[in-house]
Amino acid sequence: MSLTRLDRQYGTAVRGVWASVLGRVGRSWTDLHAWRDADAAAFQRKTLPVILAGERQIATLTASYLEQLYRDVDGGARRVKLDLDAVTGKSLRGVDPHDVYERPFKEVRAALSDGVALDAAVERGAHRLDTIAKTDLQLARTHTVREVAADMPRFEYTVRELQGEYDCALCMIASTQRYHKKNLAPIHPGCDCLVKTVTADYDPGQVIDSERLEQIHDLVEDALGKADRGGRAVDYRKIIISREHGEIGPVLGFRGQRFTGPDDIHLPT
């Protein structure tokens, strides 16, 4: 499946929101002169409205995009009523955003208690903040897809399209699969894949692009130390898995990988 003009327009709009929100969040962090409790509270007062506004923008863009996709399939307009509160803010993780965005400050304090220099400790906090914000922005998209697609009976599945600078082996392999629309699309921190709804007269099976899967054998071998060279498509269940994380939902990972929280998953390079 290739990107259409609509896909590219939507992707460009979402990336614009990402760039704006992450830029403002990052500057708010670097503008801090200290990283104590009082600074955390001031940071949240300034930053949380920016993040929430970004999530709502992405949710609105995604709903409009899905409506256009459905119009192309069904031949008629279909407006959906989206409760933005259900796909943004606390609804994404089930945890108060104030608690979530206190974690970068805890990261700094933990590093300092371990004897890490201040500059390095602040950088660790900045990395965790960046990961959390990226995850929340992508969750706003996946939650919106699930909510909106539920009201679109012609759509049966979702697929992911690679479109950004964060494409990695996990996303590339996952892009060869189809997912049921009732389920959240699995992500990893920093994932910015386009989640696309599709219709089908029959279930095509889990693997929908065996040719692409074959083409990324080398990447799989780099990550896992082995790959199928017998000319058969690799069984995706032996390569990547989707684990249910109690806070952010399904998370992509390599088999054998362990994590205790979303920020313990290192972005593949």
**pLDDT tens string 213-260:** 565 566 556 655 655 433 344 444 454 545 555 565 655 554 544 444
- pTM to 2 decimals? 0.72
Q: How do residues 113-135 score in pLDDT, each as one tens digit?
A: 999 999 999 999 999 999 999 99
The domain locations on the chain are 5-264
Tell me the backbone φ, ψ of residue 244, rounded to 5 degrees.
-85, 115
Q: What average pLDDT does this structure show over 70-86?
A: 79
Higher pLDDT, 159 or 52: 52
pLDDT at 87 over 80: yes
Q: How do residues 11-69 score in pLDDT, each as one tens digit?
A: 899 999 999 999 999 999 999 989 988 899 999 999 999 999 999 999 999 999 988 88
Q: Cα 123 vs. chain centroid, distance in angstroms?
A: 22
Q: How do residues 168-212 score in pLDDT, each as one tens digit?
A: 556 666 666 666 666 656 666 666 677 777 765 545 555 555 566
Place of tokens 């269940």: 237
